[in-house]
Amino acid sequence: MDDKHDGRVTREGIRLHERGDFAGMHAAGRLAASILDEGAEFVFPGQPTGEIDRIITEKVEAAGAGSATIGYRGYQHASCISVNHVVCHGIPGAGIPMGKDETISRNLEKRRPDDRLLDGDILNIDVTVIVDGWFGDSSRMFVAGKPRPQAERLIQVTHDALMRGIEAVRPGNTFGDIGHAIQTYAEGQRMSVVRDFCGHGLGRVFHAPPNVLHYGRAGHGPRLEEGMFFTIEPMLNLGRPETKVLSDDWTAVTRDKSLSAQFEHSVGVTSDGCDIFTLSPAGRFHPTWG
């Protein structure tokens, strides 16, 4: 099927999916979520991030699904694993960039000698699967061992910021309303919103219009219409919002090395609100502290 020429598309290039397309997105989203649900068992101090990715790869294959990220622009893994001050696109098994407390020199690209998690590390795991041609994209936060209070707060606020964004999803509202809801909440909690990465349309493709900004002005941006499918995936920092990409051309970190967190859902606009495609079947999307 030619995604460019079939069906309805807004003047901003945003596809309006049919009622029957929601089922495909629910199936793909459910798989991404159930893989993340099992993730908690594989996150603990001493666990290498490469091992977490290996387990995820197996689960995608066992489900008879595809990974959207393997082979995407040369990326070779079924997940992104972003630890501590890594904002997004952390490469599993590639060695964890050293944080503030760990660095003695001023070398911004120092990495730990291996990719094992340490007690108190916080990490985002991002998985995108393809089921019957539909893309399910979700990420959430995990903690190895016991989180520090500030890290726990960052994770809580980032989760709640995403959910506030989702509450703004209904026909008649705009994409600016989503960004505005996220930004005002995050900044009100004295955290910053990353500007350099955004959510995206998806469906039978991984990344499509529009760019879903996690900041913005109420009433601005394209109007939300029934049948739009997209991700909302805010990244919040404890410090400043600026990021930089390391020399591996993937790993994005906070410039000031402050901690960063992210949650991502794939959603679809319904006649009176929205469907969350990547809801956790086990109710584990929000981390519960043990």
Q: Is the Cβ of residue 5 or residue 247 nearer to ligand MF3 in the bound state?
A: 247
Q: How far is the CB of 233 from ligand MF3 (least distance, A)?
A: 5
Q: Footprint of ligand MF3 on residues 197-236 (CB under 6 A)?
A: 231, 233
Contact between 49 and ligand MF3 by CB under 6 A: the answer reads no
Contact 97, 251 (CB under 8 A): yes
Binding site for Co ion (CB under 5 A): 126, 137, 139, 231, 264
34 vs 288, which CB is nearer to ligand MF3? 34
136 vs 241, beta carbon nearer ligand MF3? 136
Stretch of residues binding ligand MF3 (CB under 6 A), selected from 69-77, 220-228, 253-261, 281-289: 69-77
How crowded is residue 236: how many other Cβ atoms within 10 Å of its Cβ?
A: 29
Nearest CB to ligand MF3, comparing residues 38 and 118: 38
Work out how close the CB of 207 gets to ligand MF3 at its nearest, in angstroms, rounded to a whole number.
Answer: 7
User: Closest CB to ligand MF3 among 133 and 172?
Assistant: 133
Q: Considering only 70-78, 106-114, 154-162, 175-183, which stretch makes contact with ligand MF3 by CB under 6 A?
A: 70-78
Name the binder of 89 from ligand MF3, Co ion, none, CB < 5-8 A by kind: ligand MF3
Residues in the site for ligand MF3, rule: CB under 6 A? 69, 72-73, 75, 80, 89, 126, 128, 137, 231, 233, 264
